[in-house]
Homo-oligomer: A and B are copies of this chain.
Amino acid sequence: VTGSTPYSTIALLSDLGRADESVGVLHAIARDIAAHAAVIDVTHDIAVDDVRAGSLALARATAYLPGEVIVVAAVDCESQRLVAVQVAGGRGVLIGPDNGLLAPGVAVAGGADRAIVLSNTDYHLDSPGAVFAVRDVLMPAAAHLCNGVPLDALGMPIDPAVLLPGTVPIPRHDAESSGLICEVMSVNRRGDVQLNASPDDLAGWVASTVSVETPASERGGRVAHVVKRTGDLRPGAIGIIVDAHGMCALVANRRSAAEEMGVVVGDMVILAPGDDDVPSVVSTPVTFTR
């Protein structure tokens, strides 16, 4: 009986940018249909059609969302089936295209309870031309849910198990080199390089450094010092930390590690336990556990 849940917050994520009126129109639609709902902009600067980047940003944000929330995520919606996925016993609903965008967020929220295809056009807005999915279908659906319209009313139920899974890669161990083959997931405004490796992937590595091989590096790679905080690094050093999202990240102190190492999102990065002859910058070794 989630239909009676008083959803009160809509969290928006898209690749629309803010240069034109599109995002403003989404806010206006929410205000028009469900004036009581608060609308939070997660981000609108996902690169056009970059489903993976959108899914990562959504997954990272999901843990911080309030209860009774509808998430509207819109990246590469055209020609996609549009769905709503209920999570957390009805405390949240994620709405978007069935292209993997929602999957990591759904996983963070504990998995899908149930899902529907947004096929009921009674809850769509008419377009004067081509359908603009987020404006004509996704956002109206979110607003109607906030008004107490039951999820079931929005369309046909589907088995959540058939939803397209996410495309976030997992790191793999390289049998030959005993290294961990990772990928650059994102680079933030500071130039920190977030990898797809969790501290668990590096469990048992006891050296105070990690060797980092990048597409741009010479064989053998660069030394990254294992530190707790970027601020613990000495000038000129590259570090590896468990970042604020709980993932391994390459960092530099008041410099861009991404720029310095010449890596961009999607690059392969190979980590290997360091050679302890390299003097550590911190007195006590840090072990890779949260």
Contact = CB atoms under 8 A, between A and B. Distances in A.
Interface of A: 8-9, 11, 13, 15-25, 27-29, 31-32, 35, 38, 40-45, 48-49, 57-58, 60-61, 64-67, 78-79, 127-132, 135-136, 186, 188-190, 199, 228-231, 241-247, 254, 290
Contact of A129 (B64, B66, B131, B245): B245
Number of copies: 3
A12 to B, nearest CB: 8
19 contacts: A11-B24, A17-B189, A20-B43, A20-B45, A20-B60, A22-B188, A25-B61, A28-B66, A31-B38, A32-B66, A32-B67, A48-B189, A78-B229, A128-B242, A129-B290, A130-B228, A130-B241, A130-B244, A136-B244
B64 A20 contact: no
Contacts of A27: 40-41
Given A32-B66, A135-B244, A242-B129, A24 B18 contact: no
A162 B175 CA distance: 57
A25 B130 contact: no
Most buried by B among A15, A78, A129, A135: A129
Contact of A78 (B60, B78, B127, B231): B231
